Chains A and B, each alone.
Chain A
Amino acid sequence: TQLLEQSPQFLSIQEGENLTVYCNSSSVFSSLQWYRQEPGEGPVLLVTVVTGGEVKKLKRLTFQFGDARKDSSLHITAAQPGDTGLYLCAGAWSGWGKLQFGAGTQVVVTP
Chain B
Amino acid sequence: GAVVSQHPSRVICKSGTSVKIECRSLDFQATTMFWYRQFPKQSLMLMATSNEGSKATYEQGVEKDKFLINHASLTLSTLTVTSAHPEDSSFYICSARVTGTSVGETQYFGPGTRLLVL
Q: B91-106 CB contact bits vs A (8 Å, 1 = yes)?
A: 1010101000001111
B67 at the interface (CB under 8 A from A): no
For chain A, the count of residues having a C-beta within 8 Å of the partner chain is 25
In the complex, what residue of chain A is closest to B46 when comparing beta carbons?
A98
In the complex the two chains form, is B42's CB within 8 Å of A103's CB?
yes
Range, interface on chain B: 20 to 34
Q: Which of B43, B97, B103 contacts A101 (CB 8 A)?
A: B43
CB distance from A17 to the nearest CB of B (A): 23
Which of chain B's residues have a CB closer than 8 A to the CB of A108? none
Q: Which of A43, A50, A101, A106 contacts B104 (CB 8 A)?
A: A50
In the complex the two chains form, is A48's CB within 8 Å of B103's CB?
yes
A31-B97 in contact given A41-B111, A43-B44 (Cβ < 8 Å): no
* Closest A-B pairs by Cβ, 7 of them: A42-B109, A48-B103, A104-B43, A42-B112, A42-B111, A43-B109, A101-B43
